[in-house]
Structure 1
Amino acid sequence: MKMPGFTKRLLNNLAPTGKEYVKWDTESSGLSGRIRPTDRKVFFRECRTLEVRQIKLFTWSYCRLPINLGHKEARSYLAKRDKGEDVTTTRSKARKAPTTKKLAERHFKKHVIPPKKPFSVSRDYRSRERLIVPVFASYKIKVFAQFRGVSPKSFRRIA
């Protein structure tokens, strides 16, 4: 008899034990759930990269996303894999993308330091470090690419 896949009732009845354990979904291949002793349920999609390395991709946490949306997301991973797309390379490229902090440093070295006097440079550096970097430092450049077609005046209104 085939075991049912992950359902809401099954996941609610998975009781925590003294140790962390893994439960596999029978409907969707490569989908597993890790149940922790604290009763936190985290689900993973196991997949292979194009280099045939097996990895676990975090899919969702049970308390944040219902099971049907988790299944949908897991199926989208499988569909991407079947199309020949490597999910891990797109994720690693996004992680390695330059941040606005690096862009600000490059802009500062190239366009601010050469034409200005040292006092003005130090004042600009201080204001950049106090105002701009704390807010936008971790943002990737791709976030700001959506404003590429927008005029500077309207960009000031948006920001």
Structure 2
Amino acid sequence: MPRISKRIIATLQPAEKDYIVWDDQVAGFALRVWPSGRMSYVVHYRANGRFRRYTIGHHGPWTADKARDEAIKILARVKDGNDPNTERDEERASPTVSQFCKIFIERHVKTHLKQTTQGEYQRAIDLFITKKIGSRKLASVTHSDIVTFHHTYRHIPYQANRTLGVLSKMFSLAILWGVRTDNVNPCRGVKRYKEQKRERYLTTEEHQRLGKALDDARSAMPEAVNAFQLLLLTGCRLREIQRLKWEYVFLDEGVIRLPDSKNGARTVQLGESAVGLLKSIPMIAGNPYVITGRKDGGHLTDLEKPWRRIRKEAGLVDVRIHDLRHSFASDALELGEDLIMIGKLLGHRDLKSTARYAHLKKEPIQRAVKEIDLKIFTALVSGDSKSNV
């Protein structure tokens, strides 16, 4: 048996029937020559008590050396107890990632997740997953593929990690539902990026600048301004205000009753300013939402664009919409409220979520330092005066 090489292949001629030329380097690796003159690289192996033949590919697109390396990999899989032909059949029958995403959304996302979480999953699927790996067969996606996918979005670490979480859940269910039969979740072991937790909140002076910018923008974007003011005055999450319906608002009681917030139903207490703001917002016939959008019967969906304009006018370009919620918590802390009360105001499920807001502004810290400094210095001066008497 010769070593299959370019020189040997050049001497081969077609016959009336196909025939096999075995390689003397890798047992089971061979070249199949067809009567038409076409040649295919194959590897023979035994699996589950049967002899099997696996076609690697045609000569031309595949070279002898490249096909031999592939044969070595295939035989290694056989040694580990796998059947490459069965794996190939399953991969061919496997849905693409995009196709399985639709199954995942119908069977899991829409059935078991809250509406807000559904939106987050849909966004990750539409903007990241299907765009990058949507055409891939679900069964063919490897750990290396996921590492590369995650690395692609390293410039947005928070979103990269959230999308990785969606993918991991999707592959876990693909295994559970029998769609991916290798029982391997390719997301397992992918190291998540470190996320920098920010402590950004508004000072009194920044609140004043933001207030002026909001007033100046009211005529151009009244719905957006109303939304931002409600966020400032209630400490609510963005989606809670975006999707706020009039049926949830009870102005005579001074409360908003949200039937399905992030942590379930909750009641938001309103101050006089928030009540006054809500009273000033007109109800639109046929639209159930407080913050109405351009589409009939819909709510305002994009607040990022108006926020970028407003924060630029206020000179607060580093402030995100969610930082308004941070500021609400920080102001409550500065006014003497404890973490338990702040957690109730924010609708947190447990104290761990509230603990991240337990930071103080520089203003009270500096004030406390000055008071302590004055007290100690006064005592020292007083003691020194007495010793000189």
Asked which structure has the greater RCO (Cα within 8 Å, sep 6+), the reply is: 1
1:88 paired to 2:83 = yes
Superposed CA deviations along residues 103-133 of structure 1, whole A, max 9, x for unmatched, are: 31330355458999xxxxxxxxxxx9xxx7x
Aligned equivalents of 1:93, 1:17: Cα separation in 2: 30
Residue 107 of structure 1 aligns with an amino acid whose one-letter code is: I
Aligned equivalents of 2:66, 2:107: Cα separation in 1: 46
Deviation at 1:9, TM superposition (A): 1.4
Structure 2 regions of 5+ residues with no counterpart?
A: 116-125, 162-389
Deviation at 1:48, TM superposition (A): 1.2
Residue 38 of structure 2 aligns with an amino acid whose one-letter code is: R
Structure-2 residue corresponding to 1:45: 43
1:108 paired to 2:103 = no
Partner of 2:83, secondary structure, is helix
> Quick check: 2:2–2:22 contact (8 Å CA) kept in 1?
no
Structure 1 regions of 5+ residues with no counterpart?
A: 117-127
Residue 70 of structure 1 aligns with an amino acid whose one-letter code is: A
Partner of 1:22, secondary structure, is strand
Aligned equivalents of 2:8, 2:158: Cα separation in 1: 54
Residue 61 of structure 1 aligns with an amino acid whose one-letter code is: H
What is the identity percentage for the equivalent residue pairs of Structure 1 and Structure 2?
18
Structure-2 residue corresponding to 1:75: 72
> Quick check: 1:35–1:41 contact (8 Å CA) kept in 2?
yes
Partner of 1:26, secondary structure, is coil
Aligned equivalents of 2:70, 2:160: Cα separation in 1: 36
Higher strand share: 1
Aligned equivalents of 2:18, 2:89: Cα separation in 1: 32
> Quick check: 2:44–2:53 contact (8 Å CA) kept in 1?
yes
> Quick check: 2:100–2:138 contact (8 Å CA) kept in 1?
no
Structure-1 residue corresponding to 2:61: 64
Structure-2 residue corresponding to 1:17: 15
How many residues are aligned here?
136
Residue 30 of structure 2 aligns with an amino acid whose one-letter code is: S
Residue 104 of structure 1 aligns with an amino acid whose one-letter code is: K
Superposed CA deviations along residues 37-62 of structure 1, whole A, max 9, x for unmatched, are: 2221101110112x222211122322
Aligned equivalents of 1:36, 1:93: Cα separation in 2: 24
Structure-2 residue corresponding to 1:119: none
> Quick check: 1:42–1:62 contact (8 Å CA) kept in 2?
yes
> Quick check: 2:94–2:137 contact (8 Å CA) kept in 1?
no
> Quick check: 2:33–2:40 contact (8 Å CA) kept in 1?
yes
> Quick check: 2:22–2:31 contact (8 Å CA) kept in 1?
yes
Alignment match of 2:137 (pick from 136, 139, 150): 139
Aligned equivalents of 1:23, 1:86: Cα separation in 2: 26
TM-score normalised by structure 2 residue count: 0.29
> Quick check: 1:16–1:38 contact (8 Å CA) kept in 2?
yes
Superposed CA deviations along residues 51-75 of structure 1, whole A, max 9, x for unmatched, are: 2222111223221122222222223
Aligned equivalents of 1:65, 1:6: Cα separation in 2: 13
> Quick check: 1:77–1:87 contact (8 Å CA) kept in 2?
no
